[in-house]
Structure 1
Amino acid sequence: MDDDFIENRTFDEIAIGEEANLTRSLSQDDIQLFALVSGDVNPAHVDADYAATDIFHRVIAHGMWGGGLISAVLGTQLPGPGAIYLSQSLRFLKPVDLGDAITASVRVIEKIPEHGTLVLQCVCRNQKGEDVITGEAQVRAPAEKIRRPRMTLPDVRVSRHDAYRHLIEETQGQTPLPTAVVHPCSSAAITAAVEAAEAGLIDPILIGPEKRIRAAAKEAGKDVSAFRLIAADHSHDAAAKAVALVRAGDAKLLMKGSLHTDELMSAVVSRATGLRTERRISHAYVMDVPGHPTPLIITDAAINIAPSLEEKADIIRNAIDLAHVLGIAEPKVAILSAVETVTAALPSTLEAAALCKMADRGQISGGILDGPLALDNAISEAAAKEKGIVSAVAGRAEILVVPNLEAGNMLAKQLTFLGGADAAGVVLGARVPIVLTSRADSLRTRLASCAIAVLLARAAPKAAPGLPQALT
């Protein structure tokens, strides 16, 4: 039969003993998609670790996927298009495990002419030849011939964000960190702080106009009575008081509320009363990109507009320190440009080459640097190979250093809005980590941003000598 077409078998054409079959392998994506369609999120059905200890539910849940293969054979092959399902009885004998190759077979055992009905024996066997499902089905076979072009199914991908879940899990079991939440005068800002507190990440200290904070909490439907509240006249005053709280040692994190980032950072970078260190302050996104095997750190997409060579060196040092805290012992750092060759026409390629030489001389340590690299050959081994690039970083980059804020902002938003990525953000290089959340962030992203800041703050006292220390 032509693979481009689907054709049925009419009742009159079908003979007793006729068979058809279909083989598929069970993947984790299959389980997740089945759960999405059915709404069945019982952990015994969708969690591989839990399911391994619950054979009874695994037999039923994964067996239902195998039962779906039987339906596919009946609907596409025997009898095929035009068949009407009347009834089915199945027995689930053994669990279907991830990676199992299941062959679903149907065989006609009876024909009932007066109703045009077929009775078919149904069996699903695994790659070992073991029966995992047996049963019978009754269908009304079509009376007319049908031959139509085979439908092309959409390319469906299951997006997972396991990296963020693991980050949050790493913060659990310890005392939440006191966190100065600056000017939380909107429903979104209050919600972000309360959710982080409920997750055991932070102990919020709300700083801002008291009436506005309580009104925002009421609008959000959140109870903030258990949190410390420090009154401030306006957003600038709230930022100043939050920074002072950190300087006094009463807060270990800063979290942006409903004020502009520039207002908060103005108080942070003040030479007299701020939180500066010997490092340039920079921002990093930890991107959880569906389909990409590891998180991507993108820097700087929010603070430094057009950083100089020296500032880029600090941006890289900050990102490497972040990667270490996230468990990446020797992060691979790609310094991005539009091309992978050094050319005077593109200053970013010259700076990339200089930064790599700085790393060779020990001025930047803790990671492996390469650049200039275009985005494709930074994250795709196939693209790097096509260009003939031999490098420990090319195709395997874990940190992406962008030429300027515009490029970083566009890259992060493209991954977020076109690629379905999550972008957890944190400001680095100050005395304490600073959480920058957005109203558009999902709960998962907001909690991940807080979790990253918490891990950084807890690691700081134990940090290696390269981790930035506060200036006195």
Structure 2
Amino acid sequence: MIRENKLFDELTVGDSASVKRVCTANDLFVFAHASGNLNPLHLPEDEHHNGKANGETAEPVAPSMWVGALISSVLGNILPGAGTLYKTQTFRFVDRVHVGDELTVTVTVSEKRANNTVVLDTVITGRGGDVVADGVAEVLAPTRKVAIDDDRLPDLLIRRHQHFDRYLDACAGMPSAATAVVAPEDPASLGGALLAAKRNLIVPILIGSAEAIKAVAKKHGEDLTGIEIIDVANHDAAAAKAVEMARADQVQAIMKGHLHTDQLLRHVVKRDGGLRTGRRLSHAFIMDVPGLDHVLIVSDAAINISPSLEEKIDITQSAIDLGRSLGIGQPKVGVLSAVETVNPAIPSTLDAAALSKMADRGQITGGLVDGPLAMDNAIDLQAAQTKGITSLVAGRADVLIVPNLEAGNMLAKELAFIAHAEAAGVVLGAAVPIILTSRADGEKARLASCAIAALYKAWQVGGRSMIAEAAE
């Protein structure tokens, strides 16, 4: 919106202007960065809020000076507008503001003085009209006419991973899953398993060289008290033992430690004694991308190198099932290629078209599938509309099915290291979820991988999403 300011001679006592503003969690983070005020009372999801007890977090309070700063948005943009300079401002803070509160910010001209000086009453009220803060502003009015565009500022990206937080919260009341941790013989894999245990996400059973596991724990100050360790000779034997325990229902999940993925999966896919289910094994990255209002599921980026159409059917169905377990009622699946039109010279466009039609005919169920779609028009609605694509999926995709492992791996790494996404990883299609973590994973990603495996298993067993139930 274009706004024109008011000069001193254009102002009249009684002139008034208001704006409405809703306090968001991102507002508090931005203010903390800008001001340097890191008071935990003002930061969402901080463990040190006053009032936290028995796992309950007190609601953060917006800093009073953030509330007061809202006066500037009216003075500088509307009344008197662009060119206004502060001389003084008084405040009386009457009540506190929390995330979600809608505020009305009003300034009213109360006096005109010599030397271009204007006095304005300032008041901020809450939803019920109750005063939150009031005071008096003394400003220098603009000296020349200026028109400004409200939308001229660049957007800010807040690096938060709130979707993973929801998954962790949803697991709070669930029983911890017994989990075979295969070869946790390095700091990253052992630390990840123990961290998940501390958060009551898993009950770890450590399978590998007992000597190596204890040595790593000692070196890095980890406490193994009460943790079961099964001592085996080598990584191959550790993988075999984990699969054996899963078949015997002694564990409900498997977590990869310090061994190659194919060394673990070789035992999972064995025809005799493995964990086959009749569906092709596939890997899914669950990406929590800052600024995106939903997670992105990317499949397959770690197991199937160049999947056939038949294999992509299983990859797509497993990704849909995972999305449903994470509370997405009808996942929207974009099947990716380099272009959004079918081109016989590009095999991935033919596969995408076939998968889309198979979903229409009920051969793939539970989600909406469309393709081929290029990356831009799969996730950006404006890009899809610009190219004239009419689809319930284009611009809204929750799931991205990639043409091959190379494309998927590059996409996931770009999201992680350029878009600052957190990436959790699970293997689907086996009798139990398999948790894959990387040495590059942060604490949030490790915990989220365990939480997602637990939510997926709960959905497999009970056919219900704990995330959806928590939202009701």
Range class of TM-score, shorter chain: 0.7 to 0.9
Query: Structure 1 residues 441 and 358, CA, compared in 2 at 3 Å: closer, same or farther?
Result: same
Partner of 2:38: 39
**2-structure distance, mates of 1:276, 1:323:** 21
Alpha-carbon shift at residue 270 of structure 1 (Å): 2.3
Partner of 1:123: 122
1:387 pairs with 2:384: no
Q: CA offsets, 1:402-423, max 9 Å, x none?
A: 0001111111111111112111
Query: Structure 1 residues 23 and 257, CA, compared in 2 at 3 Å: closer, same or farther?
Result: same
Amino acid across the alignment from 1:42: L
Partner of 2:427: 427
Partner of 1:168: 168
- Residue correspondence of structure 1 range 139-178 to structure 2 within 5 A: 155-178=155-178
1:65 pairs with 2:66: yes
Alpha-carbon shift at residue 23 of structure 1 (Å): 5.1
Partner of 1:213: 213
**1-structure distance, mates of 2:269, 2:68:** 63
Alpha-carbon shift at residue 279 of structure 1 (Å): 0.7
Partner of 1:455: 455
Partner of 2:310: 310
- Residue correspondence of structure 1 range 191-340 to structure 2 within 5 A: 191-340=191-340
Secondary structure at 1:362 match in 2: coil
Alpha-carbon shift at residue 349 of structure 1 (Å): 0.5
Partner of 1:12: none
Kept in 1: contact 2:95–2:131 (CA 8 A): yes
Partner of 2:55: none
Q: Which residue, 97, 102, 119 being the options, matches 1:99?
A: 102
Alpha-carbon shift at residue 62 of structure 1 (Å): 5.2
Partner of 1:468: none
Amino acid across the alignment from 1:206: L
Q: How many residues are matched? A: 441
**2-structure distance, mates of 1:190, 1:454:** 19
Structure 2: state its 5+ residue gaps: 51-57, 465-472
Q: CA offsets, 1:283-308, max 9 Å, x none?
A: 01111122222211110011101001
Partner of 1:25: 21
TM-score of the two chains, using structure 1 as the length reference: 0.80
Alpha-carbon shift at residue 321 of structure 1 (Å): 1.6
**2-structure distance, mates of 1:58, 1:281:** 43
Secondary structure at 1:61 match in 2: coil
- The Cα RMSD (Å) is 4.0
Amino acid across the alignment from 2:69: G
Over alpha carbons, which structure has the higher Rg?
A: 1
Partner of 2:399: 399
Task: Give % identity.
Answer: 47
Kept in 2: contact 1:178–1:251 (CA 8 A): yes
Query: Structure 1 residues 437 and 273, CA, compared in 2 at 3 Å: closer, same or farther?
Result: same
Amino acid across the alignment from 1:25: R
**1-structure distance, mates of 2:408, 2:72:** 49
Partner of 2:366: 366
Amino acid across the alignment from 2:395: G
Q: CA offsets, 1:204-241, max 9 Å, x none?
A: 00011111101111233211121100012222221122
Amino acid across the alignment from 1:299: S
Alpha-carbon shift at residue 196 of structure 1 (Å): 0.6
**2-structure distance, mates of 1:278, 1:248:** 19
Structure 1: state its 5+ residue gaps: 10-16, 52-56, 465-472
**2-structure distance, mates of 1:330, 1:409:** 25
**2-structure distance, mates of 1:104, 1:221:** 58
Alpha-carbon shift at residue 120 of structure 1 (Å): 6.4
Query: Structure 1 residues 136 and 428, CA, compared in 2 at 3 Å: closer, same or farther?
Result: same
Partner of 2:53: none
Secondary structure at 1:174 match in 2: coil
Query: Structure 1 residues 359 and 3, CA, compared in 2 at 3 Å: closer, same or farther?
Result: closer
Alpha-carbon shift at residue 61 of structure 1 (Å): 3.5
1:410 pairs with 2:413: no
Alpha-carbon shift at residue 363 of structure 1 (Å): 2.4
Amino acid across the alignment from 1:333: V
Partner of 1:180: 180
Secondary structure at 2:214 match in 1: helix
Q: Tell me whether 442-451 or 300-309 shows the greater mean CA deviation.
A: 442-451
Q: Tell me whether 184-193 or 61-70 shows the greater mean CA deviation.
A: 61-70
Kept in 2: contact 1:59–1:93 (CA 8 A): no
Kept in 2: contact 1:70–1:106 (CA 8 A): no
Query: Structure 1 residues 60 and 338, CA, compared in 2 at 3 Å: closer, same or farther?
Result: closer
Alpha-carbon shift at residue 161 of structure 1 (Å): 2.1
**2-structure distance, mates of 1:387, 1:82:** 46
Secondary structure at 2:91 match in 1: strand
Q: CA offsets, 1:249-298, max 9 Å, x none?
A: 21111001111212212222222332222111000111112222221111
Secondary structure at 1:221 match in 2: coil
Alpha-carbon shift at residue 342 of structure 1 (Å): 0.8
Q: Tell me whether 76-85 or 225-234 shows the greater mean CA deviation.
A: 76-85
Alpha-carbon shift at residue 134 of structure 1 (Å): 2.9
Q: CA offsets, 1:165-199, max 9 Å, x none?
A: 22122222232111000100111111100111111
Alpha-carbon shift at residue 20 of structure 1 (Å): 11
Alpha-carbon shift at residue 138 of structure 1 (Å): 8.9
Partner of 1:13: none
TM-score of the two chains, using structure 2 as the length reference: 0.80
**1-structure distance, mates of 2:330, 2:74:** 51
Secondary structure at 1:283 match in 2: strand
Query: Structure 1 residues 373 and 245, CA, compared in 2 at 3 Å: closer, same or farther?
Result: same
Partner of 2:348: 348
Kept in 1: contact 2:103–2:124 (CA 8 A): no
Kept in 1: contact 2:183–2:235 (CA 8 A): yes
Alpha-carbon shift at residue 18 of structure 1 (Å): 12
Partner of 1:470: none
Query: Structure 1 residues 19 and 67, CA, compared in 2 at 3 Å: closer, same or farther?
Result: farther
